[in-house]
Structure 1
Amino acid sequence: MKKLFKFGLAVLFSVSVFSMNFTDVSAEPEQDMKQVQKVKLTEEQKRELDTLYKEMLKTKKQIIMKYEEFGVISSEKADKKMEWMEKHYEMMKENDFIPKKRHHHKKYGKDEKTAQ
């Protein structure tokens, strides 16, 4: 009797798990990004975003300089970080401050070359 009860519970659990609605959650952000790509900003909106990005860049540079001053990071690392931030700002400016979809070359933690 106990075996039959345990078997019934196992079957009930299995049926309930397999009957759940499994959806692909990753599809929604992709749709959102497609919607963002279609938007065209006005010159005023671009100027406003440019001002905000410049303020953010200035603040981040101050933070990096403080880390360098306190000895948390080296001068070389600080320079590389600031250079990357400048390049990122220029890229955003070229793209009219509309974020582009990121292309991930790694799947499941493996590089495509090593997966083959």
Structure 2
Amino acid sequence: MSDIKVKAVKPGLYGGAYRKVGDVFLIASKDDFSKRWMEMEDRSPVQETSQEAQKAYRENATAELDNLGNALAGNPSAAPEGPASSASNFDGMDDDALAAYYGEIIGEKPGNMKRETMIKRISDKLNAD
């Protein structure tokens, strides 16, 4: 029998992996199906990775785009380094350093802007360029 696509409706373990609510994955047979925490899924594409892993992949890709944008702009040292998400790249920066970086990228002082807003605007600007 071919694999069966299911969706986790509660957290559970299958195939040596922790499955969170919403994860779609394949089970080997109907004998592996658990009504307690799985439901049969339609024929949409299978997500073999967890939602957290997919989010981390997207954030890492965004960080790499940020670094590439800075390099193409001739300012590679301005980009926060590391493979983590763009938001976590800024975690190591104090408020003054973040404000200075914001000024370099955006071209204006942030004033009393929240860190999250500065980070979002910097990321948006770098991704748009």
TM-score, length basis structure 2 = 0.26
Q: Name whichever structure is richer in strand by fraction.
A: 2
Who wins on radius of gyration, i.e. which is larger? 1
Q: Name whichever structure is richer in helix by fraction.
A: 1
TM-score, length basis structure 1 = 0.28
Higher relative contact order (CA 8 A, sep 6+): 1
